[in-house]
Amino acid sequence: MLVGGVISYLALTLFIGVWAARRVKNERDFALAGKNLPFFMATSTVFATWFGSETILASSANFVRDGFYGVIEEPFGAALCLIIVGAVFARRLYAMNLTTFSDFYRVRFGVTAEVVSSVLLSFSYISWVAAQFLALGIVLHTITGASLEVSVVIMAALVALYTTMGGMWAVSMTDTLQMTIIVLGLTAVFFILSDQAGGFSNVLAKAPPTHFSLLPQGKINWLHYISLWCVLGLGSVPGQDVFQRIMASRSASVAATSSIVAGFLYLTVAMIPLFLGLTAVKLLAPAELPRDMQFLLPQLILSKTPVWVQIIFFGALVSAILSTASGALLAPSVLVSENLLRKIVRDPQKTLLLARVSTVLIALWALQMALAHRHIHGLVTESSSIGLVALLVPFLVGFWRQQSSAAVAVISMISGFTAWQLWATFAKTQGFSTDIYPAVMVGLVASAVPYAAYFSYVFIVKKIYNKLA
DSSP assignments along 336-348, one per residue: IIIIIGGGT---G
Domain that residue 139 falls in: 2-377
pLDDT at 8: 83
pLDDT band at 322 (very low <50, low <70, confident <90, very high): confident
Determine, yes or no, domain membership for 181. Answer: yes
CATH number of the domain enclosing 25: 1.20.1730.10
Residue 464 falls within a domain, yes or no? no
Does 466 map to a domain? no
The answer to whether 416 and 446 have CB atoms below 8 angstroms apart is yes
Q: Does residue 72 have a pLDDT over 80?
A: yes
Residue 303, pLDDT score: 85
- The torsion angle over the Cα atoms of residues 324, 329, 332 and 336, rounded to 10 degrees, is -160
Average pLDDT value for residue range 150-160: 92
Q: Residue 181: in which H helix or E strand, if any? A: helix 148-196
The 10s digit of each residue's pLDDT in 224-244 is 889 999 988 999 999 898 899
State the total domains in the chain: 1
Q: What was the pLDDT predicted at 23?
A: 83
How much of the chain exceeds pLDDT 90, in percent?
36
- Residues 79 and 265: their CA atoms lie apart, in Å, by 8
Q: Is the pLDDT of residue 17 over 90?
A: no
- Strand, coil or helix: what is 145? coil
pLDDT digits (tens, 9 = 90+) for 371-426: 887 666 556 656 678 999 999 999 999 999 877 789 999 999 999 999 999 998 88
Q: Is the peptide bond before 306 cis (omega within 30 degrees of 0)?
A: no
Please indicate, yes or no, if residue 31 is contained in any of the structural domains. Answer: yes
Average pLDDT over residues 203-226: 81
Q: What is the DSSP-derived secondary structure letter of residue 461?
A: I
Q: What is the pLDDT of residue 348?
A: 67
- Spatial contact of 74 and 289, defined as CB atoms under 8 Å apart: no
Distance CA 223, CA 469 (A): 44
Q: What is the pLDDT of residue 375?
A: 61
Other CB atoms within 10 Å distance of the CB of residue 213: 12
CB atoms within 10 A of CB 346: 9
**Mean pLDDT of the region 309-322:** 84
Least confident span in 15-29, 73-87, 267-281: 15-29
**Residue 192 domain-assigned?**
yes
Instruction: Please check whether residue 151 lies inside any domain of the structure.
Output: yes
Q: What's the average model confidence in pLDDT over 183-189?
A: 88
Note whether residue 443 is domain-resident. Answer: no
Contact 27, 338 (CB under 8 A): yes
Report d(CA 93, CA 91) in Å as an integer: 6
Residue 384 belongs to a domain:
no
pTM of the model: 0.90
